[in-house]
Structure 1
Amino acid sequence: MLAAPLAVAAGLPATTFAQGHASHASHAGHTEHAEHSTHGIYAEPAGPQAHASNDVEHTGHANLMDHSASSMGHDMDQASQEASSMDHGDMPMQGGSTPANARDPDAYSGGHVRNAGKFSLPPSEASHMSDTHYFGSVQFDRFEHVRAQGEEWGAYEGEAWYGGTYNRAVVKAEGEVAGGKLRHSETQLLWRHAAFAYWDTELGLRLDHDHGAPNRQWLAFGIKGLAPYWFEVDATAYVGPGGRTALGLHAEYDILLSQKLYLQPAVEMNLYSKDDEARQIGSGLADVTAGLRLKHEITRQLVPYIGVEWAGKFGRTADYARAAGESRQQTRFVAGLSFRF
């Protein structure tokens, strides 16, 4: 600020000083002047007036920002007051009766309804879920010829069922035929229900028939399914007249030798609570049968096999067999066919 008076005192023209000062400012790259020059179209001269102008400009911006923030805060406060003063009882809430102006969910269909009208399919072509269909099947695990100690006879074991995925009517049958006559048979009429992922419960009746002996009837309740490690298990409890009870257990397992050839070990046992002399059955463990069959799948529906099995009688049942001149143990050779359709 003292440079101008000194220049006048020295006799230098003011114009020369201004040019020199401007040149010095351009070489020094006056930061403050460059920053403020971006706000205008042309650069303002440096000096007290420029600083005063810049101060006014910054003050104006600051006042404008303060005013905007104040206005925004005022609007938010007003919105909060309005929200707090709103009557929530007037707001529509979920539940309750349907509003009078609610949209009809069937309005878009043009009056058409499901399974009716000219565009509906006939019952024979209507779509159904898989568990609503009913199926039927007949399968025989054993249909075989048996040879043991010079004797020969035929044996069968199988079941037929009809129903859906969860409930089925089942007929189980097994027996022996010798000399063209039915020597022994066991028939069960059951209602099978899928109670668990791999297990079915069974409830029904059982009828036993033995040639030359009285028939027996039982109420049956059992469970059938696939145990861990792929063991097929069938366990059934029976209750008969006169306080008679029995328990039948059967288990088998498939040992794969190839995609078509496999070994099938199986074991079966029967237990009774009372002696039945007329049918030569004693209390406790009555009999056990263990077999091994080699099966070859021609198809899943047709499986021929050969095998060997051992059968033994125990306890009072063995005593009845000895008294009748029968063997308590037998080794049997079998050849047969498993099939289903």
Structure 2
Amino acid sequence: MNLRIIFGLLLLTATFSSIAQETAESWPSPVKDSLNGIVLFDRLEISRNNRDENIAVWDMIAWYGGDTYRLYFKSEGENQQNDGEPTDIERAELLASRLIAPFWEFQVGIGTRGELTSESNMENYAVLSLYGMAPYQFEVDSSLIINEDGDISISMEAEYDYRISQTSYIQPRISVSASPSESERFDRPTGFNAIRVGLRYRMEVSREFAPYVGVYWSRALGNSADKLRSTGDPVHETGIVLGARVWF
């Protein structure tokens, strides 16, 4: 009886080894890291604020690369219509990115911001960013900026897509900016500078094109608010927006 059991176990082991070897050889090769790219205009809109001013706004991101390493370009700005003033570039950045954890990338690069005029004193800077998706699917883009004078500023943006149906979403969004150090050259005091909160309802006509409507509220903070009050400028702003989210 013992010999039969031992012989059976040996035969079973040999059978499983043969099956495992044949299965391993038949497995497909690992998926190779391919290069892809996308251009996304998360906000392409016209807003009208509580002072009856019309403002064109864009917020875009483009990337090219694989799963681990990518090259990014980010651009954001606005232009107040029919006021004779130039377009304001809030950021234009070129960054190299590396995946450091699931859904999180560390980015380093250079950027510039300021008014688009021939006489403009653009602020050039180096930037370190943490970009990705926090728990509960919040998309986060946080940046540490050091300009050519050594002045430091911080920005953080977060947004969340709450699905209403298969093709419609509610998107709350918040952005905050702060300056640990004062920049006299670019008229930026220390402390928290501004906060902006928005809410948009988006409907997908297709995956690549989704018009939306929304509202926003923004306010200057701390020393930045005090400086605006001293010149008689408004500290807060509200408005409605009409735009589209486009990618290709």
TM-score normalised per structure 1: 0.59
In structure 1, the residue matched to 2:38 is 137
* Residues 1:130 and 1:339: Cα distance change in structure 2 (over 3 Å): farther
* Residues 1:259 and 1:318: Cα distance change in structure 2 (over 3 Å): same
1:75-109 Cα offsets, whole Å, 9 max, x none, are xxxxxxxxxxxxxxxxxxxxxxxxxxxxxxxxxxx
Paired residues of 1:281 and 1:320 also in contact (CA < 8 A)? no
In structure 1, the residue matched to 2:3 is none
In structure 2, the residue matched to 1:182 is 87
**TM-align CA RMSD:** 2.0
Paired residues of 1:280 and 1:321 also in contact (CA < 8 A)? no
In structure 2, the residue matched to 1:294 is 201
Does residue 1:259 correspond to 2:166, yes or no?
yes
How many pairs does the alignment contain? Answer: 215
What is the letter of the counterpart of residue 237 of structure 1?
L
SS at structure 2 position matched to 1:243: coil
Counterparts of 2:35 and 2:192, CA distance in 1:
40
In structure 1, the residue matched to 2:22 is none
In structure 1, the residue matched to 2:71 is 169
Counterparts of 2:37 and 2:217, CA distance in 1:
34
What is the letter of the counterpart of residue 89 of structure 2?
H
What is the letter of the counterpart of residue 68 of structure 2?
Y
Paired residues of 2:64 and 2:71 also in contact (CA < 8 A)? yes
Paired residues of 1:213 and 1:278 also in contact (CA < 8 A)? no
Aligned with 2:230 (options 323, 329, 332)? 323
Structure 1: 5+ residue stretches without partners: 1-127
Does residue 1:234 correspond to 2:141, yes or no?
yes
**Where do 1:10-49 residues align within 5 Å?**
none
Report how far residue 243 of structure 1 moved: 2.8
Counterparts of 1:152 and 1:131, CA distance in 2:
48
* Residues 1:201 and 1:316: Cα distance change in structure 2 (over 3 Å): same
In structure 1, the residue matched to 2:61 is 159
In structure 2, the residue matched to 1:193 is 98
1:291-321 Cα offsets, whole Å, 9 max, x none, are 0000111122111000001010011211222
Structure 2: 5+ residue stretches without partners: 1-28
TM-score normalised per structure 2: 0.81
What is the letter of the counterpart of residue 327 of structure 1?
P
Identity in percent: 29
* Residues 1:164 and 1:129: Cα distance change in structure 2 (over 3 Å): farther
1:251-280 Cα offsets, whole Å, 9 max, x none, are 111111111111000100011123334544
